[in-house]
Amino acid sequence: MAKVLTSKAENYSQWYNDLVSKADLAENSAVRGCMVIKPYGYAIWEKMQAQLDKMFKDTGHVNAYFPLFIPKSFFSKEAAHVDGFAKECAVVTHYRLMNDPDGKGVVVDPDAKLEEELIIRPTSETIIWSTYKNWIQSYRDLPILCNQWANVVRWEMRTRMFLRTTEFLWQEGHTAHETAEEALAETTQMINVYASFAEDFMAIPVIKGAKSANERFAGALETYTIEALMQDGKALQSGTSHFLGQNFAKAFDVQFANRDGKLDYVWASSWGVSTRLIGALIMAHSDDNGLVLPPKLAPYQVVIVPIYKNDEQLAEISVKADEIVAKLKARGISVKYDNRDSQRPGWKFAEYELKGVPVRLAIGPRDLENGSIEVARRDTLEKSIEQLENIDQFVADLLDKIQENIYNKAFQFREENTTKVDSYDQFKDLLVTKGGFFLAHWDGTVETELKIKEETKATIRCIPFDGAKEEGKCMVTGKPSSQRVIFALAY
């Protein structure tokens, strides 16, 4: 087959860029750092949205929408929060353009300067908590369990399609509670929702855990994360859920009358996942032939390619193909019958491999005679001839198998690339030669964490929830530690 992608081995990040563009997911736009998400890429996002939205609703949440602009003054109300975001905010200073008095084009009208600048949201805690203040008077108004699907802007220095773009799409949940326990339970519930979405739908195994103080969200008391391992041995933070304590309630003076008739500040959580998940999907499963999509998120789960020599043959094949389409659709399987005459079969095979369609069916004159059909699976690239009868059942089972197989493959990869280390020298060596996740003891101090980051670029990805309690010594300082944490190089 003609090679259209740089191979992973040759240059991983070039492979990634090639794939994004050749699989028609996204392209760079006229605006620095901002991408155009193309229909095929957006279709994957829509699948993700639909499933996540369902999971949010099933756990009692509702959707709302808050403004894109945030008054600058809101940002000074929570000190840690502004520290975290100040350096990457886009600011609106004027509201009008005028014709350039000196010639062609337009300039900003200096008379149209805003009294107070507006920040384009990098995240919505501040605008939402200023709103919640009006919604909450009593414990009877709690909890508030809102989510919003939105775009946000963070003025990043270096961008990469899906992984880090200046503008990105996400969802952000913002909840308000009577008690710390309730807010913490919500924080935990949502990291669990993210983990099951990642594992059951994206087919990506993740490690749930808490961020170290240093890696926490700006303004949070706890940040929980799901960490996934990519095929190049680097970690990708794939979703976070924050316990915000009473920080934002205090910053925006959101108090409520509790059950004892006393005023108290509201407890909060926030949680989000973004279009970065598409980057995770690419880097977790795909190969040198292109994208490999988990069936549960593939815009098309099945494609049917007819093979024919003339119009009569195509007509005969189409009768069969239409039957198959109807049977698959009846099972809720999304299928495309590609009967375009403008491309030849070989071209189509390569194209759908590039786009990661999980199952490809090819049907030609030979099959009409034999009552058979060729089935090709994207994950293993295996082909087989199957009976046309009950092909819908066969395909339905195969899609389940593929979903399971790519999860298992990713899981096995993670197992093979998770290493327990006890000495700092061994850690430094294997970090470079092997990569992946490292389970190591850490003394719990920011100083040690920063020293490791400075010397190796590795960070603590999380303190895993299900990590075994185990007495040990910090690999750097030798001070006591009660649990191994996960270190890795990260995106």
Chain positions contacting RNA, by CB under 7 A? 1-2, 4, 13-14, 17, 22, 28, 31-33, 87-88, 154, 156-160, 163-166, 168, 217, 237, 240, 272, 274-276, 289, 307-310, 341, 343-347, 349-351, 353-354, 360, 362-367, 373-374, 376, 381, 383, 457, 490-491
Min CB(331)–RNA separation in Å: 22
Min CB(325)–RNA separation in Å: 17
| Tally of CB atoms within 10 A around 112 | 12
Q: Which CB atom, from 259 or from 366, has the smaller least distance to RNA?
A: 366
Token duo for residue 423: 């000495």
Q: Which CB atom, from 114 or from 350, has the smaller least distance to RNA?
A: 350
Q: Which CB atom, from 62 or from 107, has the smaller least distance to RNA?
A: 107
Min CB(184)–RNA separation in Å: 20
Distance in angstroms (rounded) separating the CA atoms of residues 227 and 353: 28
Contact 424, 476 (CB under 8 A): yes
Min CB(33)–RNA separation in Å: 6
Min CB(398)–RNA separation in Å: 15
Q: Which CB atom, from 266 or from 307, has the smaller least distance to RNA?
A: 307
Q: Which CB atom, from 268 or from 458, has the smaller least distance to RNA?
A: 458
Dihedrals φ, ψ of 225, to 5°? Answer: -140, 155
Min CB(309)–RNA separation in Å: 4
Token duo for residue 97: 């353009």
Q: Which CB atom, from 93 or from 137, has the smaller least distance to RNA?
A: 93
| CB burial string 48-60: b at 16+ within 10 A, e below | beebbeebbeeee
Q: Which CB atom, from 41 or from 143, has the smaller least distance to RNA?
A: 41
Q: Look at strands 167-177 and 144-153 and give their pairing.
A: antiparallel
Min CB(152)–RNA separation in Å: 8
Token duo for residue 118: 């507006």
CA distance to 231, 380, 437, 457, 458, per residue, from 9 (Å): 11, 19, 20, 22, 22
Q: Which CB atom, from 207 or from 376, has the smaller least distance to RNA?
A: 376
Counting every residue written for the chain, the total comes to 491
The residue ranges of DSSP E strands in 205-332, in sequence order, are: 207-210, 222-229, 235-245, 255-257, 263-265, 267-274, 302-306
Distance in angstroms (rounded) separating the CA atoms of residues 18 and 2: 14
Among 437, 438, 424, smallest CA distance to 479 is for 424
Min CB(382)–RNA separation in Å: 9
